[in-house]
A and B are shown apart, each in its own frame.
Chain A
Amino acid sequence: MKFRFLTADFMGAFGLPRLERKMVIQALACFGIALLPHIFHLAWWLILMAAGVALWRWASLRKQVRLPPSSFFVFVIPVLLVGIFLTYGTVTGRDGGTGLLVGFFCLKMLELRNRKDFLVVTGVSYALILAGVLFTQSLLMCLYLLFQFWFTTTCLIRVHGRTHDRKSRTAGSLSMSLIWKSLPLTLVLFVFFPRIDAQLRFSPFDPSSGFADSMAPGSVSGAFSDRSMAFRVEFPDGDVPEPEDLYWRGVILSKTEDGMAWERQPFGVQREVRRVSEVTELQAGQVRQRISLIPSFQRWVFALDHPVIWPDSAETHLGGVVGWPYKIRSRLQYEVISDPDHHSQEMGQNILKRYLQLPQERELTPRVRELVKHWRRGGASDEVVVTRAMQYFKDEEFEYTFYPGTYRRRALDQFLFERKLGFCEHYSGSLATLMRVAGIPARVVLGFQGGEMNPYGDFMLVRKQNAHSWVEVWIEGRGWMRVDPTSVIQPMRLTGGMQWLQDLIGRGFGFSIAGLDFYLFAPGWLPDPISEFLDEIRNRIDNLNRVWDEMLGFDYGSQLKLMGNLGIEQSPKTGMVAILVGLAGAIVLVFWAISLRQNLKLRPEDQVLEQLIRKLKRQGVEKSPYEGVQTYLTRAGKEYPDVREVFDQFIHYYHDIKYRTHAAANRETTVQKMKDLLTQTGL
């Protein structure tokens, strides 16, 4: 049997005529459009491969090179699979699956010979639209993907017939009208299809790009230039916290090996907590937040430090970590209440031991121990030690930089006494270790700091670049106190909004590809008015995105609420399915009725003819079913000799429209003439 990749033989792919040149070009366009949204997260070698394939195919169109033989694919497919497995660690899941789809798309382009191959191309394109949505759901991207959907459907229409591009009847316009007509059913399905909250997982797969759950300052973080949204906060009660209180608590890290890198340990469960739904009146100083979080692929969420009243479905961990019962794979909305002045009092012997655990002995060099001992001099209290430590960071020449290089051996020592370069993770990581050495229980908190109020939408946007880490220390009698060493090294970070960052990395539009930053404008290049204008545009787009996100946030909870509003509270899933089937059935029926009617309607010339026949019938000249129009009107002409010529003329026009294309072109005038003749008969 002849080998063919991705085209099953039962589709009858063999022996079909070769694809026309213009269809190959169409497929190439489809290829480009489908791959464009993915180039930012695809492996570099896949992008190279795609470019190569496009060039190869293009050259083969111009008859400069030949397409590869079947044996080529036998060799290349295993290589592709292994390559994808090595790159993504899996061939399923969002990342690996997209890689696989793109790889197969490339190979299929080299094997594009007939119509059936073309169909495979459109199928892969549809699948890639879905993959694109899994990566980002921003408004712009969704609009682009909708465009891709339209284009793919256009391709499908072209391959099935409408190759002619006549005015107002192009494949594109048909595709548009098809999509338009599909919308009602789509919306019904979207609203009433029960969102299954279980995870149908056959293989473990997770995007690699979740939020961090550990801290390794040795690695360079790319998040500082990522302006995309992490989460969005609304304050329903209108009380926006002060900028210095904007610490968004995420997860706590309590274990370190080298004194710089920290990771989390299993959390204990906090009992006797209050839930948002139980609370109606807020106490003074409490802040209610409604947070909309992007998929974090972690099992905790963020809240203003320190959460006091928990989201309804949250898991309550010790340390003020708002846990979630499952990994967050989709947009999540929740409500939480925090009190910036609250200090957690939780402590016990077991916990104390955990927060005093020291890194490995070799990391604690004599200099480090000497430094801590120096802070303790004169039997200073814990509070004094903390103050002295902060003073140390302030007085020594520490520099805040995003590119501190890597610390490998004796990282803590090297950082504190030699290089003194780092960003928040270095400072919080080292401070927490030093505190433990001094006998003060300490832990690192990973979260976000800051946020921008959007003037158009009355919400606060926290971006990925706001990621931050700080330290909490246990002070007897006061509880867990927040200490942020970054604030003394880079105080602007706390007060100046994002201005300090702009100054640091330059002003202008920047974007980042595969960890490399690019700037469209050089730092300081833009005059202030333009820069402000750009900020305004950004704010407006952010606001638009918020509305969009609310639509995307439609989930099982929203469905339950909707069913509640409809008065169906018992067995809502059955209710949903019933409504879904009912409405979908109704839509199908309406469509059926419309399509029945569409072709029953008589054409204008036939309407006129029908009128004449009716009038003649009233006069007693009835048309027999077997009689043709000409015979009938000739017979009528004999009955009415006066208007015989009018009848003849009528037949002439009627035949013109029916059987002569050039007359059919100015159909309207001819029909008008027929109508005039109808009045002339005087019947």
Chain B
Amino acid sequence: MALRNLGRNRRRTLLCLLVAAWGGAALVLTAGFVRFSFDGLREAIVRGGLGHLEVAPAGDFSGAASSLERSALPPALAGWQSLRNEIEARPHVQAVGAAIQFTGMASHADRSAAFLGVAVEPDRERRMGLKVKIRSGEDLPDAAPGEDEDLALLGAGLARALGAVPGDRIVLVAPTVEGSLDAMDVTVRGVITSGLLELDARLLKTHVMTAQRLLGTGNVSSLIVGLDDTDRTAAAKAGMLPLLRQSPLPLDAVEWDTRAPFYGQVRSLYVGIFAFLGGIVFLLVVLSTSNTILMSVMERVREFGTLRAIGTSRLQVASLVVLESLWLGLMGGLGGAALGAGLAVLINHVRIQMPPPPGAVDPMELALRVAPSDLLAALVFIIVVLGVASLMPAVRVARLRVWEALAHD
């Protein structure tokens, strides 16, 4: 009877369905956008150089998660080659690469600038899928540089500050692990961008061998672990811990999101925005539909009176009203899910370029990621919303005085 009642005023029912569907579609699209943002940010963080896990001496990360703070610590990971090879042999590990964080001054002609250095093993970075955005010049070669063949990639801002272009020779000065100082000529191999303006102003990237020569050490700061699937990060860390415990130096493996606290902040921000939007959709749909539902109910007062007269209880007539709304919610939610999914496909097809987020450099292509769970959630949400919208009318119906309802026109 509830379902058939929806067909009594088709125009009104259609209007309700449209409101519900658009509300559902809005939620689906928003979920797709948020997921796009989260996934995009996550992969950008991981593939941008952070890797999935970082193995380093325990305590290096405590209260000093930023690269700048950690770069002040001398490389302490000795015997890293064997550890790297052991970790690489583990399942789902694409590659493991040594990394050194260091700071110093870079000079070119009469210009100098401080740099934040990261030394890597380029071949392993590529196997991990860690991408370097080359602005000009070339990436570091796989092979370790020989003496006097040291190369460096400069962040775009740093290159500008030094007035250096690929092919130029610059001088790097850095404190050695012994406490003195050393300088080294390096050739600029390329200019890169991290995607973050502030980091580009200081970023310098070299081969691990180059940094070790400059710093006067055979150690590295850490090992970056790249996995074949970001979702396996926690499991990979758990599997690695027994191996790390065997090391004479206490080691720790830290996930990428711990090393990128701003990801959690961005995520919280987005969740808050999404919740706020969901609240607005909730209110809009409730307000729009509850009035419509109330109108349809008030037009049937005598009918409800009759049902009450012939023995239908208050709860049953109220349930009838709610059930009608739930049917509306189901149909509207299904329509909304389908509409949202369809619109997402369409939007992705159009390939809209989003402006770079604050602090970033490159624009992003919008690619909404709608998961089945989003469609289900939108459906359930709309059903719940319509259910809530029907509560007031249901209460009104339940409170009808039978004799008054029967006398209603």
- Whether chains A and B associate is no
Q: Which residues of A contact B (CB under 8 A)?
A: none
Q: Which residues of B contact A (CB under 8 A)?
A: none
